[in-house]
Amino acid sequence: MGNWFHRNYDRMMGPLEKRVLGAMRRRLLSVAEGEVLELGAGTGANFAYYRSASRVTATEPETAMLAQAEIRAREAAVPVRLVQADATRLPFPDASFDTVVGTLVFCTIPDPAAALAEAWRVVKPGGKLLLLEHVRLRHPLLAKLQDWLTPAWMAVCDGCRLNRRTAELVHRTGFETLEEEERVGGLFVAVRAARPQHRSTSSTAT
Ligand SMILES: C[S@@+](CC[C@H](N)C(=O)[O-])C[C@H]1O[C@@H](n2cnc3c(N)ncnc32)[C@H](O)[C@@H]1O
C-alpha cells in the first residue's frame, strides 16, 4: 500500500526522531490547546505528544499514510479524528480552530503560501500556529548545496524540498512569530506563532 516513501517513513525517521525531532515535537506541542487542526499528519508521529488539546483533527491527503495514522490515533491521550484533505483546500469553516499544527509538511506541500493562507483562514483570531520544519540554511554555501540537492531529494522523498524558507513565509502571511527554536545549525526550526486578533485577512489573501 502506498509508495516506498510512505511504507518506510517511520523506519527512516527513527534515528532523527530519537536524537532531535522527538524533543522538539514534545516542546512545541505542549502548547497545542483547544480544538487543534493538524496539517499533513502523515503516520501520526505527533499524536503521542498532544496533552492539552480538547480534540485533534488530523488531516492528511495520502491514503497509505492515513492508514498508519489510524493506529496512533487510537493510542493517543486525546481524541483524534482523521480527515482526508489537502492543506490548500481545507473542508472547515473560517475561524474554527484554536491551534493549527504542521510538522515537516511545508517542505512537501507544492504551494506552501496557499496552505498558510488556509491555516490563517481556519484558525481563530488570537489562535496559534505551531510549526516544525527543516529549512534553507543561512550559510550561503550550504544553502546552495541544498538548492543543488533538492531535485534528487524531491524524487526520492515524495516531493520534499530541502530549501524552503518556511519561517519567513509564516511572517509574510501575517502571523506574528512569538518564539523560534533552532536545532542542528538552523536546519530544523520550531516556530510558535499567532494570528493577530485584529487583522481580518492574511497578507497573501486577495
Ligand atoms: C515528511 S511527511 C511528514 C508527516 C508528519 N507531519 C510528520 O511530522 O512526521 C510530509 C507529509 O505531508 C503530506 N502532504 C503532501 N502534500 C500535502 C498537501 N498538499 N496537503 C497536506 N499534506 C500534504 C504527505 O502526504 C506527508 O504525509
Question: Quick one: pLDDT at residue 121?
Answer: 98
Is 119's C-beta closer than 6 angstroms to any atom of ligand 1?
no
Distance CA 112, CA 30 (A): 25
Whether residue 118 has its Cβ less than 6 Å from ligand 1: no
**Cα first-last separation, the chain:** 39
CATH top-level class for 4-135? alpha beta
β-pairing, 123-134 vs 97-103, is parallel
* Ligand 1 atom nearest residue 38's Cα: 6
Q: Of how many residues is the chain composed?
A: 206
Q: 153 vs 44, 108, 111, 130, 157, CA distance in Å?
A: 23, 11, 18, 25, 6
- φ and ψ at residue 11, rounded to 5 degrees: -65, -45
Residue 39's DSSP bridge partners are 102
The pLDDT of residue 21 is above 60: yes
Q: Whose CA is nearest to atom 4 of ligand 1?
A: 42
Ligand 1 centre distance from Cα of residue 40 (Å): 4
Q: Would you state the pLDDT for residue 204?
A: 61
In a mutational test of the pocket of ligand 1, which residue from 105, 130, 153 has the highest number of ligand atoms less than 8 Å from its CB? 105
pLDDT in tens, 173-195: 999 999 999 999 999 999 999 99
Can you give the residue ranges of every domain in the chain? 4-135
Q: Is the CB of 61 under 6 A from ligand 1?
A: yes
User: Which residue puts its alpha carbon closest to atom 16 of ligand 1?
Assistant: 109
Q: Which three cell numbers stand for residue 156?
A: 526520492
Look at 4-8, 41-45, 146-150, 201-205 and tell me which has the smallest mean pLDDT: 201-205
SS3 124: strand
Q: What is the pTM of this model?
A: 0.95
Among candidate residues 135, 2, 133, the one with its CA nearest the CA of residue 60: 2
Q: How far is CA 183 from CA 105, 134, 135, 160, in A?
A: 17, 9, 11, 19
| pLDDT recorded at residue 205 | 46
User: Is residue 108 in contact with ligand 1, taking CB distance under 6 Å?
Assistant: yes
Contact 99, 33 (CB under 8 A): yes
In sequence order, what are the beta bridge partners of 182? 189
